Amino acid sequence: MADSYFPRWRQQPAATEGSVVGPDERLAWPQMIAMGVQHVVAMFGSTVLAPLLMGFDPNLCIFMSGIGTLLFFVLVGGRVPSYLGSSFAFIGLVIAVTGYGGHGPNLNVPVALGGIIACGVVYALIGVLVSVIGTKWIETLMPPVVTGAIVCVIGLNLAPIAVHGVSGSNFDSWMALVTVLCVGAVAVFARGMMQRLLILIGLLVAYAIYAVVTNGMGMGKPIDFAIVANAAWFGLPHFTAPVFNAQAMALLAPIAVILVAENLGHIKAVSAMTGHNLDRYVGRAFIGDGLATIVSGFAGGTGVTTYAENIGVMAVTKIYSTLVFVIAAVIALILGFSPKFGAVIQTIPGPVLGGVSIVVFGLIAVTGARIWVVNKVDFSDNRNLIVAAVTLVLGAGDFSLKLGGFGLGGIGTATFGAIILYALLRRKPSQPSAV
């Protein structure tokens, strides 16, 4: 796998249940395309939701996620399976620097874009530093107990978003549970490729049930297909130029530290799941993610990160082929040029999308716990116990802190808290007694 810049991607004969497809392997192309579609679907919940929460154009952000993923793929030589999508770490501070009210387009997006670019520059510079001196200093600051807790926190912190989205009415809550059952039934009772496509198939089944119950039986809010019929098939994304405001740049640039933790946690999680040691690609991964954020910011898109939702998909499908993410990126590029796609996205019922999010966010949290298990984190050590316990509560409770004009949301507080707490509780090795 190391004799050329890109892997050769040897083909597995078939996708048998429980088999693992490594980063340097692939399935038959029809199965690969289906898996690419599933990864695109998995990132809908956040790559569509995150821009909406900040007042960005979702179609443009999906397009830029495709660009960023391809850029990342080239930078890491196709060795690290990852999709790059909108990061939730930016939401709180973007809203703060733009004064966004929460509805419709954000008129101050250009100010946020300058800060996003500054964050990308800091992130890429950290990647250069890691490439030069290695990752030991990062691993010292963020050992498995810390990275596992941070990955866990990402899933737990996103959980209220999914639950809140399906709590508008009793009908919405029940439909979310139906969606969870659809995905769970496919995961447990389906076999072969259908089982590997559990999220996509589960969503489609739940979508069909919702349409029958609402449009057919008159219960709940029906799906409005008129917006799809009225939308154009093709159209250029709406690009936006950045404005470089010093205060906004100073506020958003430190988010790079959170992205470093997210990316490192992603790589550690994938390494644990695949058995491939990906540590030597960490610096290049940081640079790729940083450059993707810079490019996205210059075009009018959100800051991007290695996508936690796709970790969840890989965890249940056991398909880690990096070619899947190239396919997903190309699909995202195509969809970014289609206003009709944006209209189709709008027809996905909130309860269905929320139900899928509940499953995927839960898988993210469990993946963090998997890091602890694989790395045999010793929770009889009180330092590990305290670090994990405090981090989980800070993140899940969305504990926020303000330091002057700089604010940290739950993920940021948990990330920095885990790193600082682990360092403060470090004990010096005991000295040998004198003879």
Angle between helices 29-54 and 91-98 (to 10 degrees): 40
Question: CB atoms < 10 A from the CB of 389, how many?
Answer: 12
Instruction: Tell me if 318 sits within 8 A of 21, measured CB to CB.
Output: yes
Q: Is 400:409 a contact under the CB 8 Å cutoff?
A: yes
pLDDT score, position 18: 58
Name the residue among 343, 296, 333 with its Cα closest to residue 62: 333
Where do the DSSP E strands lie in 37-175?
Answer: 84-86
3-state helix, strand, coil in the chain (%, to 5): 65, 5, 30
User: How high is the pLDDT of residue 358?
Assistant: 82
From the centroid of its chain, how far is CA 220?
31
Is-contact 293 145, C-beta < 8 A? Answer: no
pLDDT tens track, the chain, 435 positions: 456 788 888 887 655 555 778 788 888 888 888 888 878 877 765 677 678 777 888 888 889 999 999 999 999 998 888 889 888 778 767 877 887 765 567 888 999 999 999 999 999 999 999 999 887 887 788 788 888 888 788 778 777 777 877 777 888 889 889 999 998 888 888 776 576 667 778 888 898 898 898 888 878 778 878 878 888 888 888 899 999 988 888 878 877 877 887 788 788 778 877 777 888 888 999 999 999 999 999 999 999 988 766 777 787 778 888 899 999 999 999 888 888 877 777 777 878 877 877 887 787 788 788 888 888 888 888 999 999 999 999 888 888 777 665 566 677 788 788 888 998 987 655 455 444
Residues 159, 150: Cα–Cα separation, whole Å: 14
- 243: which 2 tokens? 């404005």
User: Which residue blocks in 190-305 are alpha helix, DSSP H?
Assistant: 193-196, 198-211, 226-230, 246-252, 255-274, 282-299
Q: Could you tell me if 80 and 325 are in contact, meaning their C-beta atoms sit under 8 angstroms apart?
A: no
Strand partners, 21: 319
Q: What does the pLDDT read at residue 435?
A: 42
Give the model's pLDDT for residue 140: 82
The full set of domain ranges for the chain reads 25-223+237-422
pLDDT, residue 410, reads 75
What pairs with residue 25 in β-bridges?
10
What is the CB-side half-sphere exposure of residue 407 using CA atoms within 13 A? Answer: 15
Element (H, E) at 25: strand 25-26
199/31 Cα distance (integer angstroms): 15
